[in-house]
Amino acid sequence: MDSSLEFIRRIQREIFSLNGTVALLDWDQKTYMPTWGARERADQISLISRLIHEKTTCEKLFRHVEKLWGRLEELDNREQVIVKRLRRDVEKARKIPSDFVERLSKTVSIAFTVWEKAKRKNDFNRFVPHLERIIELEKEYSELIDLPGHPYNSLLDDYEEGMSVEKLKKAFSYLRSEIVDILARIRSSDVFRKQYILNGRFDVERQKKICEFLLHKMGISRKVSRLDVSTHPFTTSIGYNDVRITTNYKSSQPLFSFFSTMHEAGHALYELGLPKKEYGYTVVCDAASLGLHESQSRFWENIIARGKHFWKYFYPVFLKTFPWQLKKWDLQTWYLYVNQVRPSCIRIEADELTYPLHIILRFEIELGLIDGKIEARDLPCIWNEKMMDMLGIEPKNDAEGVLQDMHWSTGDFGYFPTYAIGNVYASQLFHQLLKEKPDVGNEIEQGNLQGIVKWLREHVYRYGRMMTAEEIIRRTCGEGLNAKVFVDYLKDKYLALYEV
Amino acid sequence: MDSSLEFIRRIQREIFSLNGTVALLDWDQKTYMPTWGARERADQISLISRLIHEKTTCEKLFRHVEKLWGRLEELDNREQVIVKRLRRDVEKARKIPSDFVERLSKTVSIAFTVWEKAKRKNDFNRFVPHLERIIELEKEYSELIDLPGHPYNSLLDDYEEGMSVEKLKKAFSYLRSEIVDILARIRSSDVFRKQYILNGRFDVERQKKICEFLLHKMGISRKVSRLDVSTHPFTTSIGYNDVRITTNYKSSQPLFSFFSTMHEAGHALYELGLPKKEYGYTVVCDAASLGLHESQSRFWENIIARGKHFWKYFYPVFLKTFPWQLKKWDLQTWYLYVNQVRPSCIRIEADELTYPLHIILRFEIELGLIDGKIEARDLPCIWNEKMMDMLGIEPKNDAEGVLQDMHWSTGDFGYFPTYAIGNVYASQLFHQLLKEKPDVGNEIEQGNLQGIVKWLREHVYRYGRMMTAEEIIRRTCGEGLNAKVFVDYLKDKYLALYEV
């Protein structure tokens, strides 16, 4: 038994090192790699990924895990948690034969290139056969994993362990009708008619200084992190003490780098707060789900950084940095500006209120594609109808519509819902935080964000994967996924803002 | 046989990917990694290195290589070259049992830390027991490799395949007496009495622009390379189209970044010029030896960039960039300044003339340590005596003497000679270049360095490891290692410069 424990300890540590190595290969590719390095980088990433898969699925590990599983009651509590999680990962990975991994990887590699071109040329039909192939593979994957209930459950499980289609359907249909209703009321308001536009050029070096200052206030030290530039902002963990974030600077939109830095910093704080002392170098020292991860980024980006308290401290920082560009603005207008609701065709440009509608639209379509009620070739029509139903606007072409996201071309079915789950969890955590620390608004106004970080560390980060995301939310907030808390939050904020 | 060829093709490609991955892990550690990432980075590097060793020494590869070796005449010429090289690498790696690799790696890891402290505290005795352990391991390594002749041959072979102690002893003792002689003549000259010192502060951003311009003139594109900052300048290949160099900027010494960039660019051009079309992803597409590699960096740094022609073009660039700081200088003084001979205790600060003496000193000591004629504890005394004999100066303490270099603490016995081999090869290549392109000085004066790069590509780079370094030199210059060519070059240059 000791030798089994020693074996799983060693192999988890190796897999951890390989994961960090892939993370670095990927980070470098998106930040500093000379362009011509791309081809060999693809080889490197695919080789290390294969080694990770081989190590996870190898017979020897399986046997040791099964042995420990059979004598679970002899293990201490910590070891039991590790063995349970590891067993789940190993058994799941072993359901997928390596020839399937290869077929999927080849298909999406081609599909991604075709999608890029299809989007550029605004030509959905070019993408259809590839999308159809991916959908077939996703169905096959679902059959291999074979979770109970809707076939989509098996896809969802990759990103949101323990969540089910049944639960999401209920939460999302409620969310959909409530947000559509709030949106209708806002649209008819006087405030909605006024549009705020930020003019001027905002020096990139100064933007960077504000972002670095923000990270400092959030308690992210340069000893364990970096801020770099990439096309699309992201966060990656190269080690427990090496969690890097990226942003992008747009000289006409200083809030893009600011909000994206804060979003990514939310992810980074979660990674940095994982239970490395107790569970370091095991599968338990990881995020519980993508939804919970996204709740952390959205908590900071939307709830904190689009809240009124926050700007009492940070608007003066902006004003001092860009006095000339902001001379016609005041705190209240700025607050309205950063929370402006404007239905948009593009998901990643959506405001806090309408964002979940973009997700629900995709969720409904993914369900239909997987259970066969929707055909890939009909997507543009269905997409545009749903856009009209939910957001009251229609994309002027497929590039701005059904082709806008890369997720389907990379085979990431089941991923989209986690964004909206993140919104809901974030609002639940905030609701609970306010109960426990009713004066948190004052702290934020002082620029003191450390109390919030501490609270999140104790109530979210430190659990790692000891339980599922929903179990963590239940333990912290007293109940599982509850979209009503999010709807109440949205109503409180946006009906007041738009005076309806 | 086809399956053996396919197997060795695939495994060489995997090893290539793993080598590039280690290179990235190392590059990142020295450039951008947050400091606290160090511990997990060590795990990552050691794991990937172990995978490389396992792949190189695995029984399956060995059997395939032996099979191909037995039917060598049935292979085409290209395949024969690959199998020969690969067989040499595999057989050599298999001579070293993995428990030895582990013992050595643990010993040097501790020894390096002790050396750092011993140097800082100027306390050689603290380092002695660790150095003794390393010497024992180096002797053991030599016995395992077991090449004919002097036991040091087996160490040398890791860096300079085909070179022997016998050959080096002859070349180095000649070099030593000639340089000591030139130095004596220079020391007695009037010119030697005058010392040139560069004053002022040189903006780092401007230094960087000059370095980037230099890389541009050398034909190193940003599509396949980068210039970053690290404590010690270095070059690393992450892929055939991703060769990165680093430098370091000192605001009082603009020539440090300039010469080190040129030095590293010489290495980078070699890597970028390897025969990737013909031999890509095989062991043949690599540098022939460290000595030949070093000949490339020194060719550019010393022979080209410390030559008169070069500054006709580049001095105006410096003058334009730093007009105020250089207002009292002219081209001739500048040329004297960059070639100033000043015996120094520190190897890495040595000038072109005295540098080889530092190497010969270390070579003589390494030989003695390996064949048992020198004891580690006597080193400070021996070191200082040799310094006095060769350079006429004595270090004021061991930190500036025997403790200055890290090489022994990392177990790199046999490495030092390659620096001086590089000097000699560089002079031989230059001698041949002048024969074939007598007007090359004119090109350099125009800032046109592409003719030289082209010549080196054809006469050095493109051979990769198709033959040994000395065979490449013989093919290009008509003879193997010949220290006399280097001595003639030094005499021509320095006796004229010092008017003796």
pLDDT digits (tens, 9 = 90+) for A442-491: 999 999 999 999 999 999 999 999 999 999 999 999 999 999 999 999 99
Residue A101 falls within a domain, yes or no? no
Query: At residue B313, what are phi and psi to the nearest 5 degrees?
Result: -90, -40
pTM of the model: 0.94
CB B224 to CB A21 under 8 A?
A: no
What's the CA angle centered on A21, arms A16 and A22, to 5 degrees? 100
Q: Is residue A493 part of a domain?
A: yes
* Whether residue B425 sits in one domain with residue B313: yes
Q: Indicate whether A79 and A129 sit together in one domain.
A: no
Residue that the structure tokens 């058994």 belong to: A91
| Mean pLDDT along residues A268-277 | 98
| Residues of A whose CB is below 8 A from B25 | 21, 24
d(CA B440, CA B437): 6
Please give the C-alpha separations between residue B222 and each of A150, A403, B32, B219, B242, in angstroms, as whole numbers.
51, 33, 18, 10, 9
Measured distance CA(A213)–CA(A211) in Å, rounded: 5
For chain B, the average pLDDT equals 97
Between chains, do B222 and A28 touch, taking CB under 8 Å as contact?
no
- Residues of chain B contacting A39 with CB distance shorter than 8 Å: 239, 241
Q: What is the pLDDT of residues B436-490, one digit of tens each?
A: 999 999 999 999 999 999 999 999 999 999 999 999 999 999 999 999 999 999 9
pLDDT band at A435 (very low <50, low <70, confident <90, very high): very high
Minimal Cβ distance to B36: which of A34, A47, A241: A241
* β-bridge partners, A237: A243
pLDDT in tens, B326-357: 999 999 999 999 999 999 999 999 999 999 99
Given A28, A48, A225, which is nearest B34 (Cβ)?
A225
Q: Are residues B74 and B142 in the same domain?
A: no
- Residue B106 forms part of a structural domain: no
Domain with A79 in it: 2-94
Q: What average pLDDT does the segment A142-149 reach? A: 97
Q: What is the largest CA-CA distance in chain A?
A: 71
Write the residue in B34, B226, B239 that is nearest to A40 by C-beta.
B239
A437: exposed, middle or buried (C-beta count within 10 Å: 0-12, 13-18, 19+)?
A: middle
- A110 falls within a domain: no
**Dist CA A344 CA A350 (whole Å):** 6
- The SS3 assignment for B252 reads coil
Domain count for chain B? 2
Interface test with A, best of B11, B13, B41 (most A CBs within 10 A): B41
Estimate to the nearest angstrom the gap between the alpha carbon of A58 and the chain centroid.
30
CA–CA gap between residue A24 and residue B48 (Å, rounded) = 13
Q: Decide: B321 and B312 in contact? Cβ < 8 Å.
A: no
Claim to verify: residue B449 and residue B318 sit in the same structural domain = yes
Q: Is residue A109 part of a domain?
A: no
Last residue of a domain, one of A30, A61, A94: A94
Closest residue to B47, CB basis, from A17, A39, A224: A17
Interval A240-255 mean pLDDT: 97
- Does a structural domain hold residue B446? yes
Q: What is the pLDDT of residue A342?
A: 96
Output the DSSP codes for A443-467: HHHTT--HHHHHHHHHHTGGGTTSS
How many whole angstroms separate alpha carbon A294 and alpha carbon A423? 7
Q: Measured between beta carbons, which residues in chain A are less than 8 angstroms from residue B238?
A: 33, 37, 40
Q: Tell me if A239 and B24 make a contact (CB, 8 A cut-off).
A: no
Give per-residue burial for A461-470: e unless 16+ CB within 10 Å, then b. Answer: bbbbbbbbbb
Selection from B167, B134, B125, B193 nearest residue B377 by Cα: B125
Chain B residues within 8 A of A223 when measuring between CB atoms = 34-36
Q: Are residues B193 and B82 in the same domain?
A: no
What are the tokens at B126?
């603290």
Q: Where are the alpha helices (DSSP H) in B58-76?
A: 59-70
> Within this chain, do residues B407 and B448 fall inside the same structural domain, yes or no?
yes
Residues A51 and A161 in one domain: no
Spot the catalytic one: B138, B160, B178, B264: B264
Mean pLDDT of A347-373: 97
Which own/partner contact pairs does B199-202 have at CB distance under 8 Å and 24+ positions apart? Answer: B199/B325, B200/B252, B200/B322, B200/B324, B200/B325, B201/B251, B201/B252, B201/B325, B202/B251, B202/B252, B202/B253, B202/B254, B202/B322, B202/B325
Q: What is the CATH number of the domain that holds B171?
A: 1.10.1370.30
Say how far residue B177 (Cα) sits from the centre of its chain.
Answer: 23
Q: Do B242 and A14 touch (CB under 8 A)?
A: no
| Helix ranges (DSSP H) in A252-398 | 254-272, 276-279, 290-298, 308-321, 331-338, 355-371, 379-391
Tell me if B94 sits within 8 A of B385, measured CB to CB: no
Chain A residues contacting B via beta carbons under 8 Å = 13-14, 17-18, 20-21, 24-25, 28, 32-37, 39-41, 43-44, 47-48, 51, 222-226, 228, 238-242, 244
Q: Is the pLDDT of residue B416 over 90?
A: yes
Q: Is the domain of B367 the same as that of B276?
A: yes
Question: DSSP code of B328?
Answer: T
In a domain, A424, yes or no: yes
pLDDT for A1 beyond 90: no
A25 neighbourhood in chain B, CB within 8 Å? 21, 24
Residues A26 and A167 occupy one common structural domain: no
Grade residue A380 by pLDDT with cuts at 50, 70 and 90. very high
Residues A146 and A27 in one domain: no
Q: Do B24 and B127 reside in the same domain of the chain? A: no
Residue B227 — pLDDT band, cuts 50, 70, 90?
Answer: very high
With contact defined as beta carbons under 8 Å apart, do A410 and A429 qualify?
A: no
Q: B100, B104, B105, B72: which is closest to B86 by C-alpha?
A: B72
Q: Does B161 participate in catalysis according to the annotation?
A: no
Mutation for testing the B interface, residue in A15, A19, A25, A244 having most B CBs under 10 Å? A25
Identify which of B28, B48, B225 has the shortest CB distance to residue A28.
B28
Residue A239: its chain B contacts at CB < 8 A? Answer: 37, 39-41, 44
The per-residue pLDDT for range B140-196, each reduced to its tens digit, is 999 999 999 999 999 999 999 999 999 999 999 999 999 999 999 999 999 999 999
A212 and A275 share a domain? yes
Domain membership of residue A346 (yes or no) is yes
Side chain identity, residue B348:
I
Cross-chain Cβ contact A223/B48 below 8 Å: no
Statement: residue A221 has pLDDT above 90: yes
Mean of the per-residue pLDDT values for chain A? 97
pLDDT of residue A98: 87
Q: Do B40 and A225 touch (CB under 8 A)?
A: no
Nearest 5°: CA angle at A436, between A433 and A439? 85
pLDDT for residue A260 is more than 90: yes
